[in-house]
Amino acid sequence: MKRLRCAIYTRKSTDEGLDQEFNSLDAQREACGAYVKSQSTEGWSLISRTYDDGGYSGGTLQRPGLEALLADVKAKKIDIIVVHKIDRLTRSLLDFAKLVEVFESASTSFVSVTQAFNTTSSMGRLTLNMLLSFAQFEREITAERIRDKIAASKAKGMWMGGNPPLGYAPNGRSLKIVDVHAELVRDIFRRYLDSGNVRILLYELDRDEIRLPKRLAISGRASGGGKFTRGQLYRILSNPVYAGKIVHHDKVYDGQHDPIVSDELWNEVRNLLDKNRQGYHAKGNRAFGALLAGLAQTSDGRRFKSNHACKGRKRYRYYVAEEATENVERPIGSAIRIPSRELDAAVVHLICEALSDPLTMLIEAGVELSSASLASMDARVDLYVAAIQRMDYFSVRSLVRKVTVGLSTLEAEIAVSSLCHAMGLPDVKTAETLTLRSAARLTRTGSAFRLVQKNGRSVVRQRPRQDIAKHFVQARLWWNELKRGEARVSDIALREGVNESWISRMVRLNFLAPAIVEKILDGTLPAGSNLSLLRHHALPLSWSEQQKFLGLE
């Protein structure tokens, strides 16, 4: 007689009662073992290995015990699988069809103890499919009842379980406020309104070393203690639970728990999130925009938009204000276009000058200072100034609220609350913004404008011009060739692939005053005096006259 190897599979949907000395899995295994023993005359023999799944639903095949059973079936270590009831193996008709296919490919039979049939006969397979259909129907009806109960409970404002959001702890079918964590949540809401940007908020929290509080989940898993992420901040700022609401799908109900933030604060944050989300989708997925994008405007209220132009592989960025209407006095002619690096640097320079005397700056803003706050400020001011000087995006954006470019002045409105946070000062009731001013005027150079001082000097020291330096070197080499008689202008033009007029104009650079050359190379030449001007104008030979011509007296 052929020996038939039998394996018993047991399952229970919940882990309730599994810690008892004799539980549901033991009862199933005992009944199946007795059945196998009764079939010993047919050659049935029980293998020693057990396959148990305690606390796993029959609606999925992702179960450790079942996966081990299927692995042994595919290895042809099992001839008959014995279960107490069919739904112990699966409640899904589709999943059962997959299991039967695996069993048949391995020539393995399936037997149910209480339902007295196996899959070796066509009648057994028909009966099995009918029973599984009813088991799946029962499971779906049960799921619908649970969903309806949850929906009705949430409509009454009840908390239906799960890990509560930061600031709350479970309290039966409601939530209770955890005061320490709730204050952090309120601070996050207020900071977001001050900064207006989640990226800046994330930077400020990290800068102030504010971390996620350590908490213990319902499952017993510890969490928290690390840095916030953007996703976590978005979930906190958009969670209606903090306003005392309960959400079920797309419906919002009044909750039975107390709110952490006021309705006014919640609505302001929600509106700002919606506004920023629309702007994000409109502009596309970019890491960072221009430093002052959306903050700069002209004195007549025209907004500067960030724009750029490309020449070869180099990109030139600008802030552009559209042409004024007929009803508005235009500052200078038509549309205004300012190189972005110049306006950015001018605003940063203005802020850093004010921060050179932070005490006076804070007193002017109406901030009351104590000896403890002064000590905290001294420890942070140098680091903060350094961040502003290197044009750190988050530092500048969290501080500046508005930049106004006028005919003769440059103004920057800064947020006093952000300044206090950066200095490590406590929240104080003071003016919302402080306005910084400097004398600067707009002057046209080519198609763009420059910010210059009264004497014509650029407000911001320009970077050394490596491209112009190359022109001076080339002009000197060509002049040496002409002076030594090694070549004529026409010969050099033919060799370089340019016209003779270009060579003649470039050679003139050899006769510039040394002081002018120095200022061209280090970027301190007055606005409007560029290389094009020097090439196309017949400058006098006298160095002093050249300096007068360029306004360098």
469: confidence class by pLDDT, cuts 50, 70, 90: confident
Three-class SS of 179-212: HHHHHHHHHHHHHHHHHCCHHHHHHHHHHCCCCC
The domain total for the chain is 4
Whether residue 8 is found in the same domain as residue 109 = yes
Q: Within a domain: residue 153?
A: no
Treating both helix axes as pointing N-terminal to C-terminal, what angle do 230-237 and 263-283 enclose, rounded to 10 degrees?
Answer: 130
Q: Within a domain: residue 457?
A: no
284: confidence class by pLDDT, cuts 50, 70, 90: very low
Whether residue 236 is found in the same domain as residue 335 = no
What average pLDDT does range 349-367 have in this prediction? 80
> C-alpha 86: how far from its chain's center?
49
The model's pTM is 0.43
More confident residue, 157 or 117: 157
Whether residue 327 is found in the same domain as residue 237 = no
The sign of the CA dihedral 70, 76, 78, 82 is positive
Which range of residues forms the domain containing residue 245? Answer: 168-283
More confident residue, 426 or 479: 479
DSSP string, 17-53: TTTSSS-HHHHHHHHHHHHHHHTGGGTEEE-S--EEE
More confident residue, 379 or 85: 85
Q: How far is it, in rounded angstroms, from Cα 28 to Cα 65?
A: 15
Whether residue 440 is found in the same domain as residue 496 = no
DSSP H or E stretch at residue 338: strand 336-339
496: confidence class by pLDDT, cuts 50, 70, 90: confident
Q: Which of 425, 452, 479 marks a domain boundary? A: 452
Q: ∠ CA 275-278-283 to the nearest 5 degrees?
A: 125
282: confidence class by pLDDT, cuts 50, 70, 90: very low
Whether residue 434 is found in the same domain as residue 511 = no
Neighbouring C-beta atoms of residue 112, cutoff 10 Å: 24
Q: How far is it, in rounded angstroms, from Cα 159 to Cα 253?
A: 11
281: confidence class by pLDDT, cuts 50, 70, 90: very low
> C-alpha 135: how far from its chain's center?
46
Mean pLDDT for the chain overall = 80
Whether residue 269 is found in the same domain as residue 308 = no
Q: Which of 3-7, 16-20, 397-401 has the highest mean pLDDT?
A: 3-7
188: confidence class by pLDDT, cuts 50, 70, 90: very high
What average pLDDT does range 29-46 have in this prediction? 91
Q: Within a domain: residue 289?
A: no
Q: How far is it, in rounded angstroms, from Cα 544 to Cα 516?
A: 10
85: three-class secondary structure by DSSP: coil
Whether residue 213 is found in the same domain as residue 242 = yes
Q: Within a domain: residue 353?
A: yes
DSSP string, 315-326: EEEEEEEPPPPT
288: confidence class by pLDDT, cuts 50, 70, 90: low
pLDDT at 236: 92
Whether residue 413 is found in the same domain as residue 472 = no
Whether residue 412 is found in the same domain as residue 487 = no
Whether residue 412 is found in the same domain as residue 526 = no
The CATH number assigned to the domain holding 276 equals 3.90.1750.20
Torsion-angle region of residue 420: left (phi > 0), alpha (psi -120 to 50) or beta?
A: alpha
More confident residue, 89 or 282: 89
Q: Within a domain: residue 410?
A: yes
Between the alpha carbon of residue 93 and those of residues 291, 356, 423, the distances in Å are 60, 76, 65
Q: Which of 17-21, 188-192, 301-305, 371-375 has the highest mean pLDDT?
A: 188-192
Q: Within a domain: residue 16?
A: yes
pLDDT tens per residue, range 345-355: 888 888 888 88
Whether residue 471 is found in the same domain as residue 434 = no
State the burial class of residue 110 (Cβ atoms within 10 Å of its Cβ: 0-12, 13-18, 19+). buried
Q: Within a domain: residue 147?
A: no
Percent of the chain with pLDDT over 70: 80
Q: Within a domain: residue 149?
A: no
Whether residue 197 is found in the same domain as residue 85 = no
pLDDT at 459: 54
163: confidence class by pLDDT, cuts 50, 70, 90: confident
pLDDT at 444: 63
